Copies of this chain bind each other. A is one copy, B any other.
């Protein structure tokens, strides 16, 4: 069943900022994930500064060992941007000015009511024999160069430009170079448990298999599980995948909130849309994070009625109409106030549902309850209301993240009647 890697890759990230103590090359994670999905292994990852000699030597060296050399960054318009000329030099090729690329960049500036700077012309130079990888999100086009049976790719550094370019331009070209193989994948997103609890639960299932591969990616309260089977036939791949995915799904149950990669805010949005319902939010400790996540989804105006960021008791009273007496009796960080916040937000916004947060994000506690204590409130049709307490670990930023995720998942469960 084992299936060795058909091609080896080296990733070279260019940019002096990634040689400082503050910045890492994170593009390589995305690229690695994409390459692995084709069965291509990354053998070396290199970070170099904006230095022509070092970069040229690095590309030459990489070509001696790897089938694919992926150079990211250094395609901007400034003097520091040396990737084009260094790659050309390493390959012993010339750079050619391409009027059509220059015109396209100029047009891009014009559409925004700006004039192209002279130095942007630098971005119109192409290595001899290179294919252009179009960049709808920026002025730096990518380049794809076939060289003595190998491939060198140049991709822009900004992730918002690199990712769509890699997915739309590089992946299809790479797939065409690979031997026929069938790859089947499954993808789960899970919330409501820690990574180590999840691993403890499902490792007995996946650790028996090297094909499919199981990759677990964790961020606070949001864990992604990728399964990938690679086989000579489609049925083989499907069968292998089902052997692992079946028991895994059974163990995880309703903690799986997405099977297609959708974020929790998109899943919740889809549930609201299905029900023809609207949502209001009232946030204290999360300070606008829930609204921000809900509205990050395109089209969310269809179901998002609006939000209230009620940081102070005065705002809870003024903007939401919470009785001061309720706060006085239970303190602002209580399930009673969380429920009332949700009900008032629902009423004020005229929404079908509402959720709320109130808690202590730290660094100090203002109410005396321990830092990390967060209450989530819920209000639904027919005067239904509910609440839940969380005790969250970590610093202020982490508590706010956890609380936001906890509130969105609580809403998901309420909408699904879990």
- Which residue numbers of A lie inside 8 Å of B, CB to CB? 16-26, 29-30, 32-33, 36, 41-49, 51, 54, 57-58, 61, 65, 76-80, 112-113, 117, 119-120, 137, 160, 195-197, 199-200, 203, 207, 215-217, 226, 281, 283, 286-292, 294-296, 298, 300-301, 304-312, 314-315, 318-319, 348-350, 362-364, 366, 391, 393-398, 400
Contact = CB atoms under 8 A, between A and B. Distances in A.
A3 B167 CA distance: 44
18 contacts: A21-B29, A23-B217, A43-B49, A44-B46, A44-B48, A45-B47, A112-B391, A117-B197, A119-B196, A160-B398, A287-B295, A287-B300, A288-B292, A296-B400, A298-B364, A306-B315, A307-B308, A318-B349
Contacts of A117: 196-197, 200
A294 B51 CA distance: 39
A368 B261 CA distance: 31
Contacts of A307: 287-288, 307-309, 311
A391 to B, nearest CB: 6
A43 B32 contact: no
Given A119-B200, A288-B307, A307-B308, A348 B319 contact: yes
A119 to B, nearest CB: 7
* A17, A19, A48, A290 pick with most chain B CB within 10 angstroms: A19
Contacts of A286: 292
Given A30-B21, A112-B393, A301-B311, A319 B200 contact: no
Given A29-B24, A349-B318, A395 B160 contact: yes
B298 A396 contact: yes
Nearest to A293: B288
A32 B137 CA distance: 32
B314 A308 contact: no
| Identical copies in the complex | 2
A170 to B, nearest CB: 16
A41 B51 CA distance: 13
A308 B311 contact: no
A217 to B, nearest CB: 5
Given A200-B117, A226-B20, A391-B113, A311 B319 contact: no
B21 A366 contact: no
B19 A32 contact: yes
A350 B314 contact: yes
Candidate in A200, A300, A305 with the most chain B CB atoms within 10 angstroms = A305
Nearest to A31: B21
Contacts of A33: 21
B311 A305 contact: yes
A111 B17 CA distance: 45
A22 B217 CA distance: 6
B311 A215 contact: no
B36 A44 contact: no
Given A43-B19, A215-B16, A292 B296 contact: no
A25 B46 CA distance: 11
Contacts of A207: 79
A219 to B, nearest CB: 9
Contacts of A288: 283, 288-292, 294-295, 307, 309
Contacts of A61: 61
B319 A312 contact: no
A119 B61 CA distance: 35
A264 to B, nearest CB: 16
A158 B61 CA distance: 29
